[in-house]
Structure 1
Amino acid sequence: MAKIQVITIIASLLFLSYITRLILKGKLREEYSIVWIVCTTILITFSFWRDGLGIMARLFGVYEAPNLVFTGAIFAILIYLLHLSVVVSRLHAQNKDMAQQIALMKEKMKKQESC
């Protein structure tokens, strides 16, 4: 096993344990941790299976294996950004609704105090 493989495997396992720790402490929600766990598992898989990236590149018809890595990373980032945009849009709508409800409740309280 090459030195870079050992370093990559150790770093990936440490990152995986850090993700687990964040989940257990409640600092990272499970729905967001899935992406990180999947990416780390892929890194660990290709760290053990050195020829795997070349085989996957040939399977998808990509001439150079690093191009497959960049294409996959860009695709994953775009999907994750879309997911975060949906979450932010939903939170924005909920925040707007809550602000309106609070304004109505304050108005109601002022009317009750004046009576």
Structure 2
Amino acid sequence: MTPRQKIFALMVCVALFGIIVSLVHKRKLKEEYAWLWLVTSAALFVLVLWYDLLVGLTNLIGAVLPTTTLFLFGLLFFMLITLHFSIKISRLSTMVTELAQETAILREENRALKSAPPEPEKEDEK
């Protein structure tokens, strides 16, 4: 990796790290997801500084070029993120359905109570 490529890659890692911290600070990204992106940024940072590790991983998986290894890990990362979000969306969809059903039941009970004739008041016998 040329020095120019290393500098560019390190700048991207630092920028990603800074953007994630800023998004968490502004409450636009939950801490639940921030750690995943921070770990990803740190992993890229380590791979840029320790290029031999990337070459070793490339040889381990049988890839030809280190860029292929990065692309493969990026693809796996996005597949896992997509699976995680699909699970979350499915859970939220079930929750919305249950809430809609409960709201309809409560609305109907409320309507029934409002339309029922008032009960006669009982006088206290003392």
Please state which band the TM-score falls in when normalised by the shorter chain.
0.7 to 0.9
Tell me if 1:28 matches 2:29.
yes
Q: Match for 1:54: what amino acid? A: V
The structure in which a higher percent of residues are helix is 1
Give, in whole Å, the separation in 1 of the partners of 2:63 and 2:9: 24
Question: Hey, what does 1:42 align to over in structure 2?
Answer: 43
In structure 1, runs of 5+ residues without a counterpart are none
Deviation at 1:63, TM superposition (A): 2.9
Moved over 4 A (4+): none
In structure 2, runs of 5+ residues without a counterpart are 117-126
Give, in whole Å, the separation in 2 of the partners of 1:61 and 1:10: 29
Distance 1:14 1:64, change over 3 A: closer
Give, in whole Å, the separation in 1 of the partners of 2:8 and 2:59: 26
Q: Match for 2:31: what amino acid? A: E
Deviation at 1:48, TM superposition (A): 1.4
Question: Hey, what does 2:85 align to over in structure 1?
Answer: 84
Q: How far does the alpha carbon of each residue in 1:68-102 deviate from its partner, in whole angstroms, 9 at most, with x for none?
A: 22221222111111111100000000000111111
Superposed CA RMSD in Å reads: 1.7
Give, in whole Å, the separation in 2 of the partners of 1:77 and 1:17: 20
Give, in whole Å, the separation in 1 of the partners of 2:11 and 2:106: 55
How many residue pairs get aligned? The number is 115
Question: Hey, what does 1:104 align to over in structure 2?
Answer: 105
Partner of 1:88, secondary structure, is: helix
- Asked which structure has the greater RCO (Cα within 8 Å, sep 6+), the reply is 1
In the superposition, the TM-score normalised over structure 1's length comes to 0.87
In the superposition, the TM-score normalised over structure 2's length comes to 0.80
Question: Hey, what does 2:10 align to over in structure 1?
Answer: 9
